[in-house]
Amino acid sequence: MDLIARLREVVGADSVKVGDDVPRRNWQDEAGLPPVAPVALLVPRTVEELAAALAICHAVGQPVVTQGGLTGLAGGARPAEGEVALSTEKLVGVEEIDPSAGTLTALAGTPLEVIQKAAEAAGFMCGIDLGARGSCTIGGNVATNAGGNQVMRYGMTRRNVLGLEVVLADGQIVRSLNKMMKNNAGYDWTQLFIGSEGTLGVVTRVVLALHPLPRGILSALLAVNDTESGIRALRRLEQTIPAGLLTFEAMWHEFYEIATGTFRVIAPLERGRELYILVADAVVAQSSRERAGLWALRESVYDYKREFGPTVGFDISIPLDRMADAIAAYRVAIPAAFPGALWVAFGHLADSNIHLQVVPRPWTPETAKAVDRLVYSEATRLGGSVSAEHGIGTLKRPYLALTRTPPELALMATVKQALDPKAILNRGRVL
C-alpha cells in the first residue's frame, strides 16, 4: 500500500489532502520565500491520529513539516520539496482553565487570541502577546519560543509554559501536563521542545501559567535625544513602577518619520528627536482609543510590504550597552553599501531586541543576501545574536554559526540525532 493510502487509513480520507485539494496557504509561511506544494497535507482531528500518522512517516523515512498558524517569519513552516505538511488546524480548543492553579490547558492549534480571551473571561491574563495573535497558534508560539509585546513583565513563551504534550518523530506521545510551579523530578524535558522550531517533536497540548488580570493599561509616548537616554529612562521607570513595565517599544527617528509621514499616523510628539518610546504600564486605566492611537505608530510596520514592496527584515539582539553603537553603525553602513535604500529600526528595546526593515533598491535575492551579511556581521561584531525571537528556520540557517560556538552546535546535533534519528521532522531547519 502506498504512503497516502496508509495515512488515509489512520486519519481518514478527508484528513489527507493531495494535489489541488491542498490549499495554497499551506504552501508557505510569512517569511516571503517562494511557495512550495507539499506532497500531501495531513489535518488530524486528534492527537492519537497525529501520532499514528507520524509513526507511518517515521517507518518509511518520509520527511514532515509541522504547520501551525503559518505566521512564522523564518521559513520554518514552509514545505521543502518532497515533504508532507502536518497541520494542527483541527487540534483546537481550550480544554481547561484551573482557577486555583491559575493555569490554562489548550490544544496546540488553538489561536493565541482565543487563549487570551478565554483567560480574560476567567479573570486572568495570558502573558504571551504578539501582533500575529489572531492567526498564530499556541503550538507555534511554543515551537518558536515567541517573544512579543509583554516580554519585559512576563518573559518569552518559555517562562509561561508549565506543561506540554508532544508527539515524537516515531509517533510516541509524551505527556507532562504539569500545573505546579515547582516540579524538579528529573530533567525538565519540556523546556527542550520550547524554541526547537518543530525539529524535535510536534507539540500537541500546552499548559500555560496565567497572570492576574491588570485593572487597566496606561500607555505613554516618550521622545529622547539619544539611545543612551532611552536606556536610562528604562532603568528609572523600572525603579519607580513597582509591578514592572509591560512594554518598552523603541522607534528610531527614521521609523517615526515614515509612520507619521508615509502612513499618516497622527504624530503625538513633534518629529526631529532621535528615539521615540512607547511605554506601557499595566496598572492605571486609560481610554482604549488613546492607547490604540499610540500603538498605530508601532504597527505601521505591517504596511511596509504593501507600500514599499519586498523588504529584508531582521530580529537581532544587541547588548544594551552597544545599542547606540549598533544604530550609529547601521545608519552609516546601510546607505553606504546600498545607495537609496530605505531602512528603519524599532523594537523591544528593553529586551535588547531590535527589528530592522531594509528596502534595498532594487530588491533582488542577491541584494537581500548582501543586506543579511552586513546586518548579521555587525550584530555579531557587537556581541549580539542573529535571532532574538523569530527563530532560525531556513532563512537564518547559514548564519547560526555566527551566534553559536562549534561545541554548542555539536550539542544541538546530538539532541536532534537522539530524538529524530531519521531526521524526518522539519529537516533542514535550524541545523
Ligand X SMILES: Cc1cc2nc3c(=O)[nH]c(=O)nc-3n(C[C@H](O)[C@H](O)[C@H](O)COP(=O)(O)OP(=O)(O)OC[C@H]3O[C@@H](n4cnc5c(N)ncnc54)[C@H](O)[C@@H]3O)c2cc1C
Question: Which stretches of the chain bind ligand X, using CB under 6 A?
Answer: 29-30, 65-73, 76-77, 88, 108, 130-132, 136-137, 139-141, 143-144, 146-148, 197-198, 202-203, 302, 389-390, 393, 426, 429
For the record, the C-alpha cell of 188 comes out as 525538565
The smaller minimum CB distance to ligand X, of residues 110 and 260, is found at 110
Question: Could you tell me the smallest distance in angstroms from the CB atom of residue 332 to ligand X?
Answer: 28
Residue 18 neighbours by CB under 8 Å, 6+ apart: 4, 39, 40, 41
Nearest distance, CB of residue 347 and ligand X, angstroms:
9
Q: How far is the CB of 93 from ligand X (least distance, A)?
A: 14
The residue count for the chain = 431
Q: Which helix (H) or strand (E) holds 158?
A: helix 157-160
- Give the shortest CB-91-to-ligand X separation in angstroms: 8
Which one, 144 or 247, has the nearer CB to ligand X? 144
**Grid cell in block for residue 100:** 486555583
Min dist CB 233 to ligand X, Å, is 22
Residue nearer to ligand X on the CB measure, 331 or 404: 404
Q: What is the DSSP letter of 352?
A: T
Find the shortest distance in angstroms from Cβ 176 to ligand X.
15
Nearer to ligand X, 8 or 298 (CB): 298
Report which secondary-structure segment, H or E, holds 118. Answer: helix 112-121
- 87 versus 260: smaller Cβ distance to ligand X: 87
Query: Shortest Cβ distance from residue 345 to ligand X (Å)?
Result: 15
Q: Which residues contact 336 (CB under 8 A, 6 or more apart)?
A: none
Cβ proximity to ligand X: between 196 and 324 the closer is 196
Distance CA 349, CA 366 (A): 30
Can the peptide bond before residue 362 be classed as cis, meaning omega within 30 degrees of 0? Answer: yes
3-state secondary structure of 413: helix
Decide: 83 and 65 in contact? Cβ < 8 Å: yes
Which residues lie below 8 Å from residue 325, measured CB to CB, with a gap of 6+?
A: 382
Q: Closest residue to ligand X, Cβ-based?
A: 140
Q: Which is nearer to ligand X, 165 or 324 (CB)?
A: 165
| Nearest-angstrom CA–CA distance, 285 and 218 | 6
- Shortest distance (Å) from residue 272 CB to ligand X: 28
CA–CA separation, 43 and 275 (whole Å): 46
Task: Name the one residue in this structure whose C-alpha cell is 521607570.
Answer: 237
141 vs 357, beta carbon nearer ligand X: 141
Backbone angles phi, psi at 359, to 5 degrees: -120, 90
Cα 100 to Cα 16, 60, 104, 118, 211, distances in angstroms: 40, 46, 11, 16, 12
